[in-house]
Amino acid sequence: MTGSRSQWLAGELRERIALGDYGPSGALESEADLGRRYEVSRVTVRRALEHLRGEGLLASRKGAGWFVVSGASFGQSLALGSFQHAVSAITEAGVSLARTVVEYGYGATPAAVARLLAVPDGTETLRVQAVRRADATPLDVVTEWVPLALAAPISRMDAEDPGTWETLRRHGHQVAVVRQSITATTAGSHVAALLKVPVSTPILLIRRLAVGTDDKPIALSEHRYLGHRFRLEVEFRGWPATAAAEPPGVAPITGTDQED
């Protein structure tokens, strides 16, 4: 029972870390306070904290308690009309980001990717897969595809630093629009091994399509972030004039769409 309770508590604390609830100081409540808040024993609290220490999320300081490790979680702001790379959010947190290419090569394009890049099925594209680490701790696995006509300037070394998208920019391919899709998934065996986490660990999957000034796709990337290490923050401005109106983006349920 203690083991399952400690895993549950670790999940609760991991979620609070991901949401940035501990603020600039990063200080957690005392072990006694955590026990009272979550109604668990001191042993359960300690096991949960030690588990999160093993994940690189927490550290203890003698006489001062437990603290969130710098760079344990990052927030990326999103707003209409702007785009910010995760690199910006991580740099603002004072953490260094390193990118290691683990796969690089040309091959037939999967049908879903070909459709997004507006190339025929089976056409060769450059495919790059890399692991990004924040202060040496895995943050995400990114897979990128670039149409063959644009891929020539991107060497394996360039794909690692300054990166695929930045290399394209330096060769005159300006990004005019970024179309982003966000969903939740879990880590398969390959991604789990790269991120050094158990299979089925929660993953935030973000797909980004870069479109040039000529309205043609430049590159497609899929980022698989550790769910407890990254969050997206969105700010909406403006509100409907009438008090009865639904919040932006929320449609009222009508007719046969209503549930009993």
| Dist CA 247 CA 129 (whole Å) | 39
Burial of 103 (0-12, 13-18, 19+ CB in 10 A): exposed
Residue 147: cis peptide before it, omega within 30 degrees of 0: no
Contact criterion met (CB below 8 Å) for 232 and 78: yes
Write down the pLDDT at residue 253: 44
Output the pTM of the full model: 0.69
CB–CB of 106/125 below 8 Å?
A: yes
3-state secondary structure 17-82: HHCCCCCCCCECCCHHHHHHHHCCCHHHHHHHHHHHHHCCCEEEECCCEEEECCCCCEEEEEECCE
Which amino acid, residue 136?
A
DSSP H stretches of helix in 63-198: 86-92, 111-117, 148-151, 156-158, 164-170, 189-195
**Which residues partner with 175 through β-bridges?**
212
Q: In which region does residue 165 sit, left (phi positive, over 0), alpha (psi from -120 to 50) or beta (all else)? A: alpha
Residue 171, by phi and psi: left (phi above 0), alpha (psi -120 to 50) or beta? alpha
Domains within the chain, CATH numbers bracketed: 2-68 (1.10.10.10), 74-234 (3.40.1410.10)
Render each residue's pLDDT in the chain as its tens digit; 260 residues: 445 889 889 888 887 787 677 877 889 999 999 999 899 999 999 999 999 998 888 999 888 899 988 766 666 666 555 555 555 566 666 777 889 999 999 999 988 899 899 999 889 999 999 999 988 889 899 999 999 999 999 999 999 999 999 999 999 999 999 988 888 888 888 999 999 999 889 999 888 999 999 999 999 999 999 988 887 777 776 666 655 555 555 454 444 443 43
